[in-house]
Amino acid sequence: MTSSPTSSAALALPVDSIELFESLAKEMNAHPEIYQELGWCDMDFGVIMRRDASTPFAVALHLREYGCEQVTLFESGGNQHLDCWLVGDLDHWQAVFDDIAENGMATGEQTLSSLVLLADRIAVKGHDAMGVDLFFRYNQTLQSIFDGAAALATARQGEGS
């Protein structure tokens, strides 16, 4: 699913768009063999991107077994249905996706795990400890979903050639 590193790779879709997350879900669902190796995942996971002086972008991925069943938008305060979610400023999320597009996968401090453990740019939240624990339990699955952006960047670059 991940591609080899490309120079000046970029996503054609804004990181704060449901279209990007729908594309990531399609990429996940197209490669069940990757997720079967990682193990099944059953969680409702959210991403909240804080934007300057506007409503945050909030999207939920409804993960079941080895795929993403649904992608939905939600109000940032309306996360009662989520097990856990990640919160960060839009520019930090942009850096995550730029790193993935450039390197074929998240590297160094741009991995979800590193960002959450450092807790200075992106934080994991949940209603209780069990929900937050799901982030750590399914971390590699979540990282693989996000790393799917590399295939999207590569596919988009190929379209223009």
Please write the tens of the pLDDT for every residue from 138-160: 999 999 999 999 998 865 555 54
CB 139 within 8 A of CB 113: yes
Tens-digit pLDDT profile for residues 22-44 = 999 999 999 999 999 999 999 99
Mean pLDDT of 55-67: 96
Q: Which CATH number covers residue 28?
A: 3.30.1050.10
In this structure, is residue 43 part of a structural domain?
yes
Average predicted confidence (pLDDT) for the chain: 90
Residue 120 carries which DSSP code?
A: S
Mean pLDDT of 66-83: 92
In this structure, is residue 31 part of a structural domain?
yes
Q: What percent of the chain has pLDDT over 70?
A: 89
Q: What range defines the domain where residue 135 resides?
A: 18-151
In this structure, is residue 95 part of a structural domain?
yes
CA–CA separation, 143 and 130 (whole Å): 20
In this structure, is residue 107 part of a structural domain?
yes
Domain count, the chain: 1
In this structure, is residue 113 part of a structural domain?
yes
CA–CA separation, 4 and 150 (whole Å): 9
Mean pLDDT of 93-110: 96
Locate the DSSP E strands across the chain. Answer: 43-50, 57-64, 67-73, 84-89, 122-126
At residue 12, the pLDDT reads 80
Residues 6+ apart with CB under 8 A from 50: 56, 87, 88, 89, 90
Cβ atoms within 10 Å, residue 20: 19
CA–CA separation, 104 and 3 (whole Å): 5
In this structure, is residue 39 part of a structural domain?
yes
In this structure, is residue 131 part of a structural domain?
yes
In this structure, is residue 3 part of a structural domain?
no
